Amino acid sequence: MRTETTATVYRRSVDPTTRGDVYARSVLPSVHWEDGRSARFGKAPSATQATIFIPASSLPTDGSVAGLSVGDIIVRGSVADELSALFTPTNLREKYSSALVVSSTDAVDYGSMAMRHWKVGAE
């Protein structure tokens, strides 16, 4: 699989004490990113979307991205910003036009290791 960029993933979880969203940031060193536009019924015209292919070989050895799920945030490129009460997901999306919310994840885990990857849809 050819890869041309890095990506930053913000995995969302819930803090059990405050019941608020918390985000863990990790940078993926090599992904294939395909931008797209959408004009679906019920959605804003020409909504930004992307399909991101993450090779299994670029996943962290601790498997931290294996829990990637709907609602997480993905940004094209390496981003150092941490999400907090002072810098929210809304601020992140305003600062980076490529910041999108994950809408689908598919593990393609068959074939050789060179073929295995995650396919992530984001809007």
Give me the long-range contacts of 92-99 (CB less than 8 A, separation at least 24). 92/10, 97/48, 98/50, 99/73, 99/74, 99/75
Averaged pLDDT for residues 54-62: 73
Q: How many domains is the chain partitioned into structurally? A: 1
Structure confidence at residue 115 (pLDDT): 86
pLDDT digit string, tens, across residues 82-111: 999 899 999 999 999 999 999 999 888 888
Structure confidence at residue 57 (pLDDT): 78
In the block, residue with structure tokens 């995650």? 118
Averaged pLDDT for residues 28-56: 78
- Domain range for 44 is 5-122
pLDDT digit string, tens, across residues 33-44: 999 865 556 655
Q: Please, are residues 122 and 31 in contact by the beta-carbon 8 Å criterion?
A: no
